[in-house]
Structure formats: structure tokens, C-alpha cells
A and B are shown apart, each in its own frame.
Chain A
């Protein structure tokens, strides 16, 4: 019975009572933030105990690489969701950007791989700029605009690749694509380094720049932001462009990791990205959330997949049958749990 807030204190007299109210308010916040950390630590401890390969440098490095594509998508998605939107197109954008990158990264294209990668990023950003204009200027609901973009980008991809995959039988990637996939920076595999670096950059932008502050304001109260002189359209537009760029980069990484680009790549990836953002405590109604949460969300989802793959040989898992089905069920339960945790902790202070 505590639907009423401890933070009611500020209404009353200043002094001791207030401080008490504030500290309990923060405790609630910390508890809800630790929830996901506990889940990660708990799952990690369980996997360490259940499988001796889990806590090896090799597996953990592998895990980091595995979560990079979803991590990049989720990082971009965090911008859009905090700004009060949603982006369902990222899976398709990833695939299209990956395909374009693959086309330019072939040995006989003569284009340097880094240029091809930048082209990939621009494909994502450019297409999402269209969604951005639709949402910001024409006030099309983000759900609808990006649903349309999801379909269109997938269509463009099929047209562009003529239904095939790259590289085809007669050509092959430049060696630099392998470097992108297997190379290391400061001991980190390049995909993981790209993910963590981009996430740090995104955190920095969201926390310390004017644009970042505006993103929160627009998502928190669009009308209030407008009256406060925030360039709402501009902010919404750029949130989508940033998200598209991250999806493009993610597509490049996926192509490099797979050493090929397929028409069916990335189907359903947007859901994993949204799930990671939500599990990380970012509110789907906008205005609240942060990149650290998204990082944890991505790690938790990655751990679930990694763990189930590791435990594949156990009799219990064999009895359960299809591992991807098990993954899906567990992922769904984690999402429900994370959102419930968020609602319960918010209910306490609202």
C-alpha cells in the first residue's frame, strides 16, 4: 500500500523530512537499476557453475562480438525511444546497409572497405531521414512511418540484390572485411570495440550535449518542449537519422561477421533492439532512460542466448527441444519482468 509518494515531502516544510524523502526516492531508483545488474550477475554465476566454458576469456570475447550487432541497433534505438518514438525499420535498414556495404566491399569493386562501410552507414541514416521527416514534419505516428520504412527497405533490398546474396559464386570480399571481423583494437575484437565505442559516444551525446538534453525534453513533454523553445522537429528528425546511422553500422558489422549479405538478414532484429532498450529501463512513453541501461539490456539478452547455446548439451535442454524457441520464451519473460519492475518502482514514486 504505497501508491502515494515518499517524494510528497517537498510539498511540506523544508528540512529533515525532505531529505529523508529524497533519500528514499533515490533508493527506489537504485533498486530498480540494480535489478538488471542482479539478473546479469545471477545468470552469469549460474552459467559459470553450470558450464566450465562460460567464464573463459574466449567465450566472453565471443559473447561481446555476438551482442555487437544488437548493441549497435539498441544504441540508436535508445535515442528514438527517449525522444518518444519507436523505430521498427532498423532490422530492414541493417540488412540493406549490409548488402550495399557487401557490394562495395568486393575485391573487384575497387572501393576501399572503409569507404564502403561509410556508404553503409549513410544508407541507414539516409533512409531513416525519410522516416524522420514523416514523423517530425508531417506528424505521421512513428510506429506507422517506420513500419512502412521496414517494408520499403526490405523491398529495396530485394530489388538491389535481385534476390541473391553477396558475395556471389564468382567474386569474394576484400581482405579488409576479414580484418573488420577478426581484427582487434586494444585486445578487443573490432565489432565489440565498435559497439562499445559507439555506445560511449552515444552516452556522451545524450548526457552532455544540448541535443541530448533536447531529446529527453521532447520525449518527456513535446508541447512543453515546444513552448520552452526546443526545436522539436529538428530534434525528432535527428534522433531518427542517428538511429538509422547506427542501424547502418550494425549492418556493416553483421556482413563482416557473416562474410556475406543475405536478403533475409535482420528479420525481427528490431524487436531484440527494442527489448534491450526496454529491459534497460528506458520508458517506451519517452523522456526517461539512459545508455548504461541499454548496455545492460543488450548484455542480458546476449547472456540468455549464449547461455542456452552453452547448455545445449544438457539433458534438460534436449528435452525442451528447439533451442531458439526456448530462447524466445525466456527473452519474453525477461521483458515482462523488466517492464513490471519499472512499473512497480515508478508506481512507488508517482
Chain B
């Protein structure tokens, strides 16, 4: 097949007798974006690591330009023209864009780095790719999306023709996502093939040409994306139809649990007033930098407000630290579980119990029996898929890690549950389960505040939505009035 840039044929990989990938197949055409879809544990990462030469497969074949490619190592993969753009960027913040692009192979004159030649070549490249990034800018000053463009430019400058992009948009706002997509379209025009992995399925329909779905380590189906719609794709990924939680009509309200009056923090948000009632999920929507996460962090005591009041159950509270916030009845599912939600080297039980050790013991002791019983109950209730509570939490998949964060928060028996991007980097099935967790929390009389930058998600989970723009509330919509357009209008 002459039109194939990269063809993988039933690649297999087993870890200590456990098959992680039993049939990884994919056919990438030049000048296309190929969506690789699958839930957590579908074998996507293993497959990509094999292609990048980071793992040696147990079987299967890889053809590049129709010629067999030996699985040697990352160096061979790179020289064959394969590059990977990951969530964790590998750029150096203190160097300029041009220096980053040519790092390790700077043009040299008289034994010194030829800065002007380097800058010239970098801006030529960026211009050619149609990337709106100045070559002399410091990488640390760029937005995440533009950093990704720099990374892509670096890959292209090493003659990469096959780009692997693993969840590139998970940290991007909608507007930044457009920047990245424009860049990808320009790459297509240069005949580059892109293997694209994301949990944000909607965005695939705007950017992808082909798709391939893996499930449980196996190839399921592939084809042209225009033959699919969102529901069909979800069906292929999950294997069974998802029932829609949106149908749940709560409607009944309890007492006012949270009241915020004119809360301000200089440089972050101004005069924020809102309330949340028991039985209610309050959604907060806003673009990155709109002050939504900053507001939540401030409520939780990670930062201090400069003015304004917060009341829980009608009682005014002053919050000095997260510990304080928890005592008053808040709990926070933070934006980045690896960085601030979990302690990776502790096991599942220890993580779940970490915020409630006082309740699960005495002043001094941890009562193991109570701890074990309560965490085991939480594991069942939230359907945390782990073989044992004694397994280090860093070994769990993203969705299950997030459930552990929820378990930790719920074990503190909060009155108000704050969730910042609760389903980031989580597969479609676990996402629905997480919405279910929030729903059942409010059904028991709690109030939940959910911050999200995904319209889809915020519309599904909220009873009422408040929109932030530039640190202020710009509008409030009931579930009935809310639509993607209405939200975007208020936020952008």
C-alpha cells in the first residue's frame, strides 16, 4: 500500500504474563490526523510506547513507508521520523524558542553557537509551519498551547513525518485548543501523519480524518471519522451503551449550605458572590485564567482572600488553611491529582484515609480496623478498580486514581464538595461514574461546586451554572437555559 506512512500489524506485548496489548493494529496515511481511541487500559499507551521504541513487542510487525521497521530503541524510532508530543513537555523554560528547537544541534560558527543563524532558521521554520510563535521569545513566557507548537516545530526540524500526540489538549482551554488545531492542519498540508490520542471525543470530529479504536488491548475497528458520530464512537470505546445521567431530574432543594459574599483576591478574582444549596450541583465555567480555579483554591484555604465573606450553613467562617477548610466542612478534589490530589507512593487505603485520620482513630493512633472497614466500603461504593487496598496508588489508572481522590474527600463527610476539573484525563466510562459520585453526594444533602473547562461536562453535571470571565461573574444560567453557545458567549 503506497498510501501508508506507518502500518502496525497485530502488535503484542505482555508484562509478566499479563497481556497489555494482544492485537495492536493501525494504518496511518500521510497528511492525515488519525485518532487512536480507547478507554484507560485499552492498550493505547503500550502501543504508542512500542512504536516509539520504548518497549520491545512480543510479536507483530511495523511498516514505515511500506518497509519493515526493526524494533530497536527510541533512537531508531526518531531516525525513522517518529516523534512524540506528550502532556509533560520537555522544553527548557529559561531558553528561547529558537534555542529550544535547535537544542543539542545548534548551528556553530568558529566553535561558538551562531545565534543569529539559529534565530533565522527557527523563524523560517515557524513561518513555514504557520505557527504564531516568535523565535526569540522565552519559552517560559509562552502559553501551554504555544509551548506545544514549539515542541512540534522541534520534531519537524528533525525531519519527523510521524507525530504522536498523547492528550495534547488536556491542559488547554478551548481557545488554545483552536491554536493547536490550526497548527495540526498546517502539518497535514506538509504531508505529516499524526496519531492523535484524547479523551475529549467531541474535538476529534473537528480535526481527525481516520480513527482506530482499541478495547481491552485489542483492535476493534477503524475507518473514516465522518462515518461516525459521538454516540457511536463512545459505544465502540466502551463496548456497551452508556446510560445518560442527564435524565436524572433532581429539582428538590435543601438548605443553603454555602454562601459567598463579595469575595476578592487581588489579581485573581473580584467581588464573587454565589450560593449553593443542599442537593444542588453548582457548575462554574470559565476559560483558563478566568479566575475559576483560583476562586476554588481560595475557598479551600490554599490562598487567602483579601476581602469578602464565606458562610457555611449560615455561619460565617474564616479559613486559614486547607486543614481549616476541611474542619469547617469543605473538601477539594483538586485540579491535578498527581501533583496535589494524591500521595503517589502511599497505598490506596492510606490515601483514602489521609484526610480523616482523626475521625478514624484517636488523637495519637490510627485505628487500622476502622480505617480498613471504611476504605473498603468506599472502594465498593465508588467502584475503585484495584486488586487490593494495599496497592500503591500510583499504579492505578487515571480514572481509578480520581476515584481514590473522591473517596478521600467523601470520607471527611464534607458539607460542600469542591471539584476542580474532576474528570481531566479520565476515560469515558469512569467519567460517567464520577458524575454519578457527585450526584449521589448531593442527593444525600450536600452541595457540590464543580469547576470545568469542558462545556459538555459542565452542562451534564450542573443544576445551575455560573460563568467567570476575567475574574468576575458574568452570568448565571439555570440548567434549562444553559447551552454551549450561551456559556461560550458569557465566557469568551
Show the binding face of A for B, using Cβ within 8 Å: 1-14, 17-22, 24-25, 208-214, 216-217, 220-221, 223-231, 287-288, 349-350
Contact = CB atoms under 8 A, between A and B. Distances in A.
A342 to B, nearest CB: 13
A192 B16 CA distance: 44
A7 B350 CA distance: 18
Given A13-B216, A220-B343, A24 B16 contact: yes
A224 B15 contact: no
Interface residues of B, number: 56
Contacts of A229: 322-323, 325-326, 354-355, 412
A227 to B, nearest CB: 5
B16 A20 contact: yes
A213 B15 CA distance: 32
Nearest to B399: A11
Contact of A210 (B17, B19, B365, B386): B365
Contact of B397 (A10, A21, A22): A10
B366 interface: yes
A221 B395 contact: no
B366 A209 contact: yes
A216 B397 CA distance: 22
Contact of A10 (B17, B368, B387, B412): B387
A3 B387 contact: no
A221 B54 contact: no
B46 interface: yes
Interface string B307-342: 000000000000001110110000010100001111
B361 interface: yes
A9 to B, nearest CB: 5
Contacts of A287: 343-346
Contact of B346 (A20, A217, A231): A217
A209 B20 contact: no
B18 interface: yes
Interface in B272-289: none
Interface in B63-78: none
A124 B332 CA distance: 39
A234 to B, nearest CB: 9
A108 to B, nearest CB: 41
Contacts of B322: 226-229
Interface string B31-50: 00000000011000010010
Residue among B16, B17, B364 with the highest chain A CB neighbour number at 10 A: B16
A6 B343 CA distance: 20
B344 A10 contact: no
Nearest to B56: A1
A21 B343 contact: no
A226 to B, nearest CB: 6
Contacts of B350: 213, 216-217
A293 to B, nearest CB: 15
A8 B387 contact: no
B41 A19 contact: no
4 cross-chain pairs, A with B, having the tightest CB-CB distances, nearest first: A11-B41, A6-B16, A220-B343, A7-B395
A12 B217 contact: yes
Contact of A21 (B18, B55, B56, B365): B18
24 contacts: A1-B56, A7-B392, A8-B20, A9-B387, A10-B387, A10-B395, A10-B396, A10-B400, A12-B41, A20-B16, A20-B17, A21-B387, A22-B388, A25-B391, A209-B365, A211-B364, A213-B354, A213-B357, A214-B357, A216-B343, A224-B340, A229-B322, A229-B323, A230-B323
A220 B387 contact: no
Contacts of A6: 15-16, 18
Contacts of B403: none
B345 A220 contact: yes
Interface in B377-402: 385-388, 391-392, 394-397, 400
A321 B304 CA distance: 64
Interface in B448-470: none
A10 B41 CA distance: 8
A20 B17 CA distance: 8
Nearest to A205: B364
Given A4-B55, A208-B365, A213-B357, A220 B385 contact: no
Contacts of A223: 339-340
Contacts, number: 146
B358 interface: yes
B41 A221 contact: no
Interface in B1-34: 15-20
A3 B55 CA distance: 8
Contacts of B146: none
Interface in B394-423: 394-397, 400, 408, 412
Contacts of B323: 229-231
- Of B323, B344, B386, which is in contact with the most chain A CB atoms at under 10 Å from its CB? B323
A209 B364 contact: yes
B355 A228 contact: yes
Contacts of B17: 20
B302 interface: yes
Contacts of B387: 9-10, 14, 18-19, 21-22
Given A24-B16, A229-B322, 6 more contacts: A7-B395, A10-B386, A11-B397, A21-B15, A21-B16, A213-B357
Most chain B beta-carbon neighbours within 10 Å: one of A18, A223, A229, A350: A229
Contacts of B216: 12-13
A221 B20 CA distance: 29
Contacts of A25: 391, 395
A228 to B, nearest CB: 5
B141 to A, nearest CB: 24
Contacts of A17: 18-19
Residue from B18, B20, B332, B388 with most neighbouring chain A CB atoms (10 Å): B18
Contact of B366 (A13, A18, A208, A220): A208
A209 B226 CA distance: 59
A224 B217 contact: no
Most buried by A among B321, B339, B357, B396: B357
A186 B381 CA distance: 51
Contacts of B408: 228
B359 to A, nearest CB: 11
A155 B476 CA distance: 65
Given A12-B18, A20-B16, A223-B340, A210 B55 contact: no
A210 B358 contact: yes
Contacts of A12: 18, 20, 41, 216-217
